[in-house]
Amino acid sequence: MALYVKFQSQHNSEIDYNRFKSALKFLDKLFKILRCEEREVYLFVGDSSDDSDEKRSFDMGILESHFRSGIKKLKDRSGILGFVLEGKLIVDKKKFPFVFELRPRVLCGKERFDIRAEILPNKYAQIFEDLIKFKSDLKSLIAQRVKEFNKERSGNENVIKRVILSKHGDEYNNIASWDFLYTSDVTYFLSKIIDFSKELSDRLSFGNRLKFSNNILQNDNFAFLLSRYSQQFNVALASGSLSVIPQDQEAMNKFIESISKDLEVVASKVYKKENETINLIDETLSTLT
Protein backbone atom coordinates (compact mmCIF):
# COMPACT_ATOMS: atom_id res chain seq x y z
CA MET A 1 0.00 0.00 0.00
CA ALA A 2 1.03 3.54 -0.46
CA LEU A 3 -0.34 7.06 -0.47
CA TYR A 4 -1.43 8.05 -3.97
CA VAL A 5 -2.28 11.57 -5.13
CA LYS A 6 -3.90 12.63 -8.38
CA PHE A 7 -3.85 16.20 -9.63
CA GLN A 8 -6.54 17.86 -11.68
CA SER A 9 -5.18 17.98 -15.21
CA GLN A 10 -4.29 21.41 -16.47
CA HIS A 11 -4.17 22.63 -20.03
CA ASN A 12 -1.47 25.22 -20.35
CA SER A 13 2.05 25.48 -21.68
CA GLU A 14 3.73 25.14 -18.26
CA ILE A 15 1.96 21.92 -17.35
CA ASP A 16 5.02 19.83 -16.35
CA TYR A 17 6.60 22.59 -14.31
CA ASN A 18 3.28 23.19 -12.53
CA ARG A 19 2.99 19.51 -11.64
CA PHE A 20 6.50 19.65 -10.21
CA LYS A 21 5.72 22.73 -8.11
CA SER A 22 2.46 21.23 -6.88
CA ALA A 23 4.21 17.98 -5.93
CA LEU A 24 6.77 19.92 -3.90
CA LYS A 25 4.04 21.93 -2.21
CA PHE A 26 2.20 18.74 -1.27
CA LEU A 27 5.48 17.31 0.00
CA ASP A 28 5.87 20.38 2.17
CA LYS A 29 2.37 19.82 3.58
CA LEU A 30 3.21 16.16 4.27
CA PHE A 31 6.41 17.13 6.06
CA LYS A 32 4.39 19.33 8.39
CA ILE A 33 2.74 16.12 9.60
CA LEU A 34 5.75 13.80 9.38
CA ARG A 35 9.26 15.17 9.95
CA CYS A 36 11.79 14.09 7.35
CA GLU A 37 15.62 14.03 7.48
CA GLU A 38 18.48 13.23 5.09
CA ARG A 39 16.47 14.29 2.05
CA GLU A 40 17.96 13.59 -1.37
CA VAL A 41 16.33 14.11 -4.75
CA TYR A 42 17.03 12.94 -8.29
CA LEU A 43 15.22 13.40 -11.58
CA PHE A 44 14.47 10.49 -13.89
CA VAL A 45 13.20 10.02 -17.39
CA GLY A 46 10.49 7.41 -17.93
CA ASP A 47 11.11 4.90 -15.16
CA SER A 48 12.35 5.61 -11.64
CA SER A 49 14.67 2.58 -11.80
CA ASP A 50 16.31 3.80 -15.01
CA ASP A 51 17.60 7.08 -13.59
CA SER A 52 20.90 8.52 -14.60
CA ASP A 53 20.71 11.78 -12.68
CA GLU A 54 22.93 12.23 -9.65
CA LYS A 55 21.29 12.52 -6.24
CA ARG A 56 21.33 16.03 -4.82
CA SER A 57 20.37 17.44 -1.47
CA PHE A 58 16.89 18.87 -1.21
CA ASP A 59 17.40 22.55 -2.00
CA MET A 60 14.25 24.04 -3.46
CA GLY A 61 15.96 26.75 -5.56
CA ILE A 62 18.56 24.48 -7.15
CA LEU A 63 15.98 21.77 -7.69
CA GLU A 64 13.61 24.16 -9.45
CA SER A 65 16.24 25.34 -11.91
CA HIS A 66 17.44 21.77 -12.41
CA PHE A 67 13.91 20.64 -13.22
CA ARG A 68 13.39 23.61 -15.56
CA SER A 69 16.55 22.78 -17.48
CA GLY A 70 15.40 19.13 -17.64
CA ILE A 71 12.12 20.26 -19.21
CA LYS A 72 13.94 22.54 -21.66
CA LYS A 73 16.28 19.74 -22.67
CA LEU A 74 13.46 17.30 -23.34
CA LYS A 75 11.27 19.92 -25.10
CA ASP A 76 8.08 18.19 -26.34
CA ARG A 77 8.99 15.01 -24.48
CA SER A 78 9.04 16.70 -21.06
CA GLY A 79 6.02 14.61 -20.02
CA ILE A 80 8.34 11.68 -19.36
CA LEU A 81 10.24 13.54 -16.62
CA GLY A 82 9.67 12.69 -12.95
CA PHE A 83 11.51 12.93 -9.65
CA VAL A 84 12.17 10.78 -6.60
CA LEU A 85 12.84 12.02 -3.09
CA GLU A 86 14.43 9.63 -0.64
CA GLY A 87 14.65 10.47 3.04
CA LYS A 88 14.00 9.28 6.57
CA LEU A 89 10.68 10.02 8.21
CA ILE A 90 10.78 10.44 11.95
CA VAL A 91 7.63 9.29 13.68
CA ASP A 92 7.45 8.54 17.38
CA LYS A 93 11.29 8.76 17.63
CA LYS A 94 11.64 5.98 15.04
CA LYS A 95 13.07 6.41 11.56
CA PHE A 96 11.43 5.05 8.42
CA PRO A 97 13.09 5.01 4.96
CA PHE A 98 10.76 7.12 2.82
CA VAL A 99 10.27 7.38 -0.96
CA PHE A 100 8.22 10.10 -2.65
CA GLU A 101 7.83 9.85 -6.39
CA LEU A 102 6.35 12.25 -8.94
CA ARG A 103 5.54 10.01 -11.87
CA PRO A 104 5.96 11.13 -15.46
CA ARG A 105 2.85 12.91 -16.76
CA VAL A 106 2.48 10.60 -19.74
CA LEU A 107 2.03 7.68 -17.34
CA CYS A 108 -0.62 9.48 -15.29
CA GLY A 109 -3.62 9.21 -17.56
CA LYS A 110 -7.25 9.21 -16.57
CA GLU A 111 -7.00 6.82 -13.63
CA ARG A 112 -3.31 6.71 -12.75
CA PHE A 113 -1.87 8.72 -9.93
CA ASP A 114 0.72 11.51 -10.16
CA ILE A 115 2.34 10.95 -6.78
CA ARG A 116 3.22 7.83 -4.83
CA ALA A 117 4.52 8.09 -1.24
CA GLU A 118 5.71 4.91 0.46
CA ILE A 119 8.05 3.70 3.19
CA LEU A 120 10.47 0.80 2.83
CA PRO A 121 10.13 -2.11 5.27
CA ASN A 122 12.16 -2.04 8.50
CA LYS A 123 11.77 -3.48 12.00
CA TYR A 124 8.75 -1.32 12.84
CA ALA A 125 6.71 -1.04 9.65
CA GLN A 126 6.31 -2.44 6.16
CA ILE A 127 4.02 0.00 4.37
CA PHE A 128 2.92 3.64 4.65
CA GLU A 129 -0.31 2.69 6.35
CA ASP A 130 1.63 1.12 9.25
CA LEU A 131 2.64 4.64 10.30
CA ILE A 132 -0.90 4.99 11.68
CA LYS A 133 0.24 2.72 14.54
CA PHE A 134 2.70 5.43 15.57
CA LYS A 135 0.55 8.45 14.63
CA SER A 136 -3.08 7.56 15.13
CA ASP A 137 -4.55 10.71 13.54
CA LEU A 138 -2.42 10.47 10.37
CA LYS A 139 -5.34 9.96 7.97
CA SER A 140 -7.38 12.90 9.26
CA LEU A 141 -4.26 15.11 9.25
CA ILE A 142 -3.61 14.21 5.61
CA ALA A 143 -7.23 15.05 4.74
CA GLN A 144 -6.85 18.39 6.53
CA ARG A 145 -3.58 19.24 4.71
CA VAL A 146 -5.05 18.31 1.34
CA LYS A 147 -7.94 20.68 1.92
CA GLU A 148 -5.48 23.39 2.97
CA PHE A 149 -3.47 22.72 -0.19
CA ASN A 150 -6.50 23.16 -2.43
CA LYS A 151 -7.56 26.31 -0.58
CA GLU A 152 -4.13 27.97 -0.83
CA ARG A 153 -3.55 26.98 -4.43
CA SER A 154 -2.29 29.76 -6.63
CA GLY A 155 -3.22 30.11 -10.32
CA ASN A 156 -0.28 28.15 -11.69
CA GLU A 157 -0.57 25.12 -9.42
CA ASN A 158 -2.56 21.97 -9.89
CA VAL A 159 -5.46 21.30 -7.54
CA ILE A 160 -5.54 17.89 -5.86
CA LYS A 161 -8.32 15.83 -7.40
CA ARG A 162 -8.09 12.75 -5.22
CA VAL A 163 -5.93 11.10 -2.59
CA ILE A 164 -6.12 7.46 -1.59
CA LEU A 165 -4.30 5.02 0.63
CA SER A 166 -4.44 1.76 -1.25
CA LYS A 167 -2.80 -1.39 -2.48
CA HIS A 168 -1.00 -0.68 -5.72
CA GLY A 169 -2.82 -2.24 -8.63
CA ASP A 170 -6.08 -2.51 -6.74
CA GLU A 171 -6.57 1.21 -6.41
CA TYR A 172 -8.71 1.51 -9.50
CA ASN A 173 -11.15 -1.27 -8.77
CA ASN A 174 -11.82 -2.19 -5.20
CA ILE A 175 -12.81 0.79 -3.08
CA ALA A 176 -13.55 -1.55 -0.13
CA SER A 177 -9.83 -2.27 0.28
CA TRP A 178 -8.89 1.40 0.45
CA ASP A 179 -7.88 2.85 3.78
CA PHE A 180 -8.47 6.47 3.01
CA LEU A 181 -10.14 8.49 0.28
CA TYR A 182 -10.30 12.18 -0.45
CA THR A 183 -11.98 13.29 -3.64
CA SER A 184 -12.97 16.74 -4.84
CA ASP A 185 -15.50 15.10 -7.17
CA VAL A 186 -18.06 13.19 -5.07
CA THR A 187 -19.46 11.29 -8.08
CA TYR A 188 -16.07 9.52 -8.22
CA PHE A 189 -16.94 7.89 -4.87
CA LEU A 190 -20.20 6.55 -6.28
CA SER A 191 -18.64 5.43 -9.56
CA LYS A 192 -16.13 3.37 -7.55
CA ILE A 193 -19.00 1.81 -5.56
CA ILE A 194 -20.65 0.91 -8.87
CA ASP A 195 -17.37 -0.72 -9.97
CA PHE A 196 -17.20 -2.58 -6.66
CA SER A 197 -20.68 -4.12 -6.93
CA LYS A 198 -21.19 -6.63 -9.76
CA GLU A 199 -24.95 -6.24 -9.50
CA LEU A 200 -24.73 -2.45 -9.90
CA SER A 201 -22.25 -2.64 -12.79
CA ASP A 202 -24.51 -5.16 -14.49
CA ARG A 203 -27.66 -3.09 -14.12
CA LEU A 204 -25.94 0.13 -15.14
CA SER A 205 -24.28 -1.36 -18.21
CA PHE A 206 -27.13 0.13 -20.30
CA GLY A 207 -27.75 3.10 -18.01
CA ASN A 208 -26.09 6.45 -17.50
CA ARG A 209 -23.74 6.13 -14.52
CA LEU A 210 -23.20 9.85 -14.13
CA LYS A 211 -26.90 10.68 -14.19
CA PHE A 212 -27.61 7.90 -11.70
CA SER A 213 -24.79 9.09 -9.40
CA ASN A 214 -25.83 12.75 -9.60
CA ASN A 215 -29.43 11.94 -8.74
CA ILE A 216 -28.40 9.75 -5.83
CA LEU A 217 -26.13 12.48 -4.50
CA GLN A 218 -28.81 15.16 -4.77
CA ASN A 219 -31.19 13.07 -2.74
CA ASP A 220 -31.30 14.01 0.95
CA ASN A 221 -32.11 10.46 1.99
CA PHE A 222 -28.76 9.29 0.62
CA ALA A 223 -27.00 11.81 2.86
CA PHE A 224 -28.86 10.38 5.87
CA LEU A 225 -27.94 6.87 4.76
CA LEU A 226 -24.26 7.79 4.46
CA SER A 227 -24.27 9.45 7.83
CA ARG A 228 -25.96 6.43 9.48
CA TYR A 229 -23.52 3.93 7.99
CA SER A 230 -20.52 6.09 8.81
CA GLN A 231 -21.53 6.11 12.48
CA GLN A 232 -22.36 2.41 12.47
CA PHE A 233 -19.02 1.34 10.96
CA ASN A 234 -16.63 3.92 12.46
CA VAL A 235 -16.00 5.75 9.23
CA ALA A 236 -15.49 9.49 9.42
CA LEU A 237 -16.95 11.55 6.59
CA ALA A 238 -16.19 15.14 5.72
CA SER A 239 -18.54 16.85 3.33
CA GLY A 240 -18.07 19.41 0.55
CA SER A 241 -15.40 17.47 -1.14
CA LEU A 242 -15.57 13.96 0.27
CA SER A 243 -13.11 12.44 2.72
CA VAL A 244 -13.68 8.87 3.83
CA ILE A 245 -11.55 8.00 6.85
CA PRO A 246 -12.28 4.49 8.13
CA GLN A 247 -10.99 3.34 11.49
CA ASP A 248 -9.62 0.20 9.83
CA GLN A 249 -9.98 -1.78 6.64
CA GLU A 250 -12.83 -3.93 7.98
CA ALA A 251 -14.83 -0.79 8.72
CA MET A 252 -14.31 0.44 5.16
CA ASN A 253 -15.33 -2.92 3.74
CA LYS A 254 -18.58 -3.03 5.74
CA PHE A 255 -19.32 0.62 4.96
CA ILE A 256 -18.92 0.16 1.20
CA GLU A 257 -20.83 -3.15 1.21
CA SER A 258 -23.79 -1.58 3.00
CA ILE A 259 -23.96 1.41 0.65
CA SER A 260 -23.62 -0.77 -2.43
CA LYS A 261 -26.43 -3.08 -1.22
CA ASP A 262 -28.78 -0.13 -0.80
CA LEU A 263 -27.81 1.26 -4.20
CA GLU A 264 -28.45 -2.19 -5.70
CA VAL A 265 -32.02 -1.98 -4.42
CA VAL A 266 -32.42 1.46 -6.04
CA ALA A 267 -30.87 0.30 -9.30
CA SER A 268 -33.04 -2.82 -9.40
CA LYS A 269 -36.15 -0.58 -9.38
CA VAL A 270 -34.77 1.67 -12.12
CA TYR A 271 -32.69 -0.54 -14.43
CA LYS A 272 -32.98 -4.06 -15.75
CA LYS A 273 -30.06 -6.49 -15.78
CA GLU A 274 -27.90 -6.63 -18.89
CA ASN A 275 -29.33 -10.00 -20.01
CA GLU A 276 -32.89 -8.86 -19.41
CA THR A 277 -32.25 -5.70 -21.43
CA ILE A 278 -30.75 -7.65 -24.33
CA ASN A 279 -33.69 -10.08 -24.30
CA LEU A 280 -36.13 -7.18 -24.15
CA ILE A 281 -34.44 -5.48 -27.12
CA ASP A 282 -34.54 -8.76 -29.00
CA GLU A 283 -38.21 -9.44 -28.16
CA THR A 284 -39.29 -5.91 -29.03
CA LEU A 285 -37.47 -5.93 -32.34
CA SER A 286 -38.88 -9.35 -33.24
CA THR A 287 -42.44 -8.05 -32.78
CA LEU A 288 -41.67 -5.16 -35.13
CA THR A 289 -40.35 -7.31 -37.97
Partner 1 sequence: MAEIKLPKPFGSVINRYYSTSKYIIVEAFVDSYEYNLTNGTKCLRDWLSLNGDDTCCDCYCVVQLDNGQKEGILLEDKNIKKCRNREVSDGIRQMTFTHNKIKEKNESYPLNWAFLTNAKFQQPLKAKTLSGRRSKVLCNEMKNHPVKIRNSEIEVFIV
The footprint of partner 1 (CB under 8 A) covers 1-2, 42, 46-51, 55, 86, 88, 94-97, 99, 101, 107, 112, 118-124, 126-127, 167-169
Shortest Å distance, C-beta 169 to partner 1: 6
Q: Are the CB atoms for 39 and 56 separated by under 8 Å?
A: no
Q: Which is nearer to partner 1, 125 or 226 (CB)?
A: 125
Nearer to partner 1, 86 or 202 (CB): 86
Rounded to the nearest 10 degrees, the angle between the axes of helix 249-270 and helix 186-196 is: 80
Please, what is the minimum distance in Å from the beta carbon of residue 192 to partner 1?
A: 19
Tell me whether residue 127 or residue 217 sits nearer to partner 1 (CB atom).
Answer: 127
CB of 261 to partner 1, least distance (A): 29
Question: Minimal distance in Å, beta carbon 25 to partner 1?
Answer: 23
144-152 contact pairs (CB < 8 A, 24+): 145/29, 145/30, 145/32, 145/33, 146/26, 146/29, 146/182, 146/243, 147/182, 147/241, 147/243, 148/29, 149/25, 149/26, 149/29, 150/184, 150/241
Distance in Å, CB of 80 to partner 1, minimum: 10
Separation in Å, CA 125 to CA 92, 137, 146, 175, 275: 12, 17, 24, 23, 48
Q: Which is nearer to partner 1, 46 or 207 (CB)?
A: 46
Specify the residue, 31 or 42, whose C-beta has the smaller distance to partner 1. 42
